[in-house]
Structure 1
């Protein structure tokens, strides 16, 4: 569900909250088992339609990469469609299209995943194709030569020629001084230029092992039938030793960092980020759930604080947002962004001061019980609507498992959000919104450089 849809759903929390919580309180039957070769399999039953989603998740992404070899995880994702022992380049995708299936893949800092959505009676085909490329990827040199040019063009279109993406990439590289999260998922262009197919082969052999993967199947299936299929197609793939992968940890107090970027943009903008833990690294889970609710307090729709106070009230900004990823495998960022209201003559410095006022208000004054209840209901409504999708259910399970958490947290997080108190909100704001955790990026139009 996209952000607009989430916010639209959240507007109806008042009349929908009670039945939604009732629905959420009864999680779907979920089963877990592990093959002898180490492949973990998680099956979640959802029998509302004769459809199934199959996802294979690998514990490897850009945070696993080292300087000079960035972009390997994403490039390998592209090459996984370029042929295996049984099929030539693109043939697996053609077979799935002819079956009416939806398929794709994605890479992030922490994982790479491949998925198919298809009729339940076609699941065996999807698993056979997935197991084949896990066991016998070809990586032909001529296909790599063509595909690396596709990846470089993707980088140009999505990052280098897109000011907002380029600004965030530079900001993120500064905001994560100690961990692999400073590496862009697509890789730096200089590393793409010198990447070799031999490097990709070594990356595949290092990380693409059944004991480094999780198979997630959600939909109109039973655990017993998935187990039969998983054994049939995956059990003969041998386990291999996998390199150690340490959790990406950040400095507790890196010190205030600043960058000014002059880009091809018409309006100035601002990003502020605070180094904070994720659920995998927090001292207490309540800190993480408090940060999730703080993001919603600040930026949870029309009645949120940034929109009410800074946009419509002071007319300081023309737009502002807050977001936080609670589920990386290491430490995280709490990010605020805003565009000054240039029509009222507001500056980046004034905007930054306004954002600080909102954070300091949280530090001095816990939210009222009524405001927290409203925001929490919005967050829970959004989560419940999102989880109505079998694809979203599978993705949540896969992400949790692959970052080192448990899929069971998916069925526990609503209760965890309910347990957050106004004092938890104030404590999290006081602990984490400090200048020694702060990174700031000022983004200005190129023509301002000479002024």
Structure 2
């Protein structure tokens, strides 16, 4: 670790220590709306977020992408606000605002001076139950989403690979659908579809209000009662579970496109904290991802990129907080002069090593230190803290789990990591996607943002 990095980590740790002194206050309004408040008095600002328990994993065939389209429409006017007026008012307050749709939730947020909390709460409450869905605005915004899909996915070969890879890996789970939706489904959406989706999910008893900043819990609760408390609870019908059937053999796909460098992605079906029979498996998988690709000193970077020089880049990914069983993924691009076959063999060799040899105590200690530092980085700002709290609460995990994340990881042993690798990293549970050049000249397109959409 270099001296400058050590110094910055010390500063971040000090900042998080100050932020972590305040406990999370949690309560519920009479209409079922969950309220989470965390005081952070380091600056006179406040982050205000409303999370809805709905996203791509709630969608069925034929309406994929509807959560994301509705997110766009939430900025297009209410009974009291003209299209775009919401954003203009937040800007006049000197604030920032945005929204995003993910697989498991949709969230709307603002950061403003603490004196403006009531104003943004009033604005957000207005569109919770009084959204005005107009046909002309819908047609326009659907075209915007289709164009977004074109440049994010259809004109980006690597994004297309990951989209097709997920559809190959999952058969009956909603995890196979892209968050932005399939083009044909988006084109077939109607205003009535959106109205039904809005009415079904955008209710106080399906929402979580998160406020972090220079506030007191009692004042936030009073404002929440004033602006959200009058809304009636709705009957929320939870989505029917669509558990992915067990994979019984290796799956492969090859995509040829106008690229200069190939890409290889490998994925294994694994449990999350919410789906694992024993949560230790999820924590062990979290550490396995860090061992393979947590930082520049991790195995893939050290062995494949700098050591054997078979990869130009290599990464690993795992989402421990997924609502449904996720994938544990490995992805890489071959170094110049290296074949995709050699690269895939090298990736598999690292998987086999994880299964064959327990991680050393020294390597585990390094990975734990890095994981703790990353948790600190993600939670330093008021918005970062609000994001973590809302994300956890939206999927049914304790909102303060982030405070115990490192403690949970420290309970995992090298044997635990080896056990999950042996159990899940098998050929029968493997899906492989390969992107190959087709000989055409690549087109320059904006870099695709995988995962949730941010307006």
Give TM-score, length-normalised by structure 1: 0.93
Q: Distance in 2 between matches of 1:356 and 1:142?
A: 52
- The 3 A distance-change label for structure 1 pair 9 and 403 is farther
Report deviation, 1:417: 1.2
- The 3 A distance-change label for structure 1 pair 420 and 145 is same
- The 3 A distance-change label for structure 1 pair 376 and 17 is farther
Counterpart residue number, 1:156: 150
Counterpart residue number, 1:319: 313
Structure 2 counterpart of 1:396, from 388, 413, 418: 388
Report deviation, 1:8: 9.5
Confirm or deny that 1:438 pairs with 2:438. no
Report deviation, 1:13: 8.9
Confirm or deny that 1:359 pairs with 2:322. no
Confirm or deny that 1:378 pairs with 2:370. yes
1:255-282 per-position Cα deviation (integer Å, ceiling 9, x unaligned): 3111011122111110000100111111
1:180-206 per-position Cα deviation (integer Å, ceiling 9, x unaligned): 011111111111112111110111011
Counterpart residue number, 2:51: 57
Counterpart residue number, 2:107: 113
1:114-147 per-position Cα deviation (integer Å, ceiling 9, x unaligned): 0000001100011101111111110111111111
Is contact 1:181-1:248 (8 Å) kept? no
Counterpart residue number, 2:415: 423
Report deviation, 1:302: 2.1
Q: Distance in 1 between matches of 2:118 and 2:151?
A: 37
Secondary structure of the 1:94 match is helix
Q: Distance in 1 between matches of 2:314 and 2:361?
A: 24
Aligned positions of 1:100-139 closer than 5 A: 100-139=94-133
Structure 2 counterpart of 1:186, from 180, 188, 195: 180
- The 3 A distance-change label for structure 1 pair 370 and 18 is farther
Is contact 1:110-1:403 (8 Å) kept? yes
Bigger drift between 240-249 and 283-292 goes to 240-249
Is contact 1:363-1:430 (8 Å) kept? yes
- The 3 A distance-change label for structure 1 pair 8 and 102 is farther
Q: Distance in 2 between matches of 1:296 and 1:284?
A: 20
Confirm or deny that 1:72 pairs with 2:39. no
Is contact 2:56-2:67 (8 Å) kept? yes
Report deviation, 1:12: 3.3
**Corresponding pairs, count:** 440
Aligned positions of 1:274-313 closer than 5 A: 274-313=268-307
Confirm or deny that 1:205 pairs with 2:199. yes
Secondary structure of the 1:166 match is helix
Is contact 1:127-1:233 (8 Å) kept? yes
Report deviation, 1:315: 1.5
- The 3 A distance-change label for structure 1 pair 209 and 19 is closer
Is contact 2:268-2:431 (8 Å) kept? yes
Is contact 2:13-2:376 (8 Å) kept? no
Counterpart residue number, 1:96: 90
Q: Distance in 1 between matches of 2:325 and 2:15?
A: 30
Report deviation, 1:380: 0.6
Give TM-score, length-normalised by structure 2: 0.92
Structure 1 counterpart of 2:328, from 328, 334, 344: 334
Secondary structure of the 2:400 match is helix
Secondary structure of the 1:243 match is coil
Counterpart residue number, 1:228: 222
For structure 1, the 5+ residue unaligned runs are: 1-6
Report deviation, 1:350: 1.4
- The 3 A distance-change label for structure 1 pair 17 and 128 is closer
Structure 1 counterpart of 2:339, from 334, 343, 347: 347
Is contact 2:251-2:432 (8 Å) kept? yes
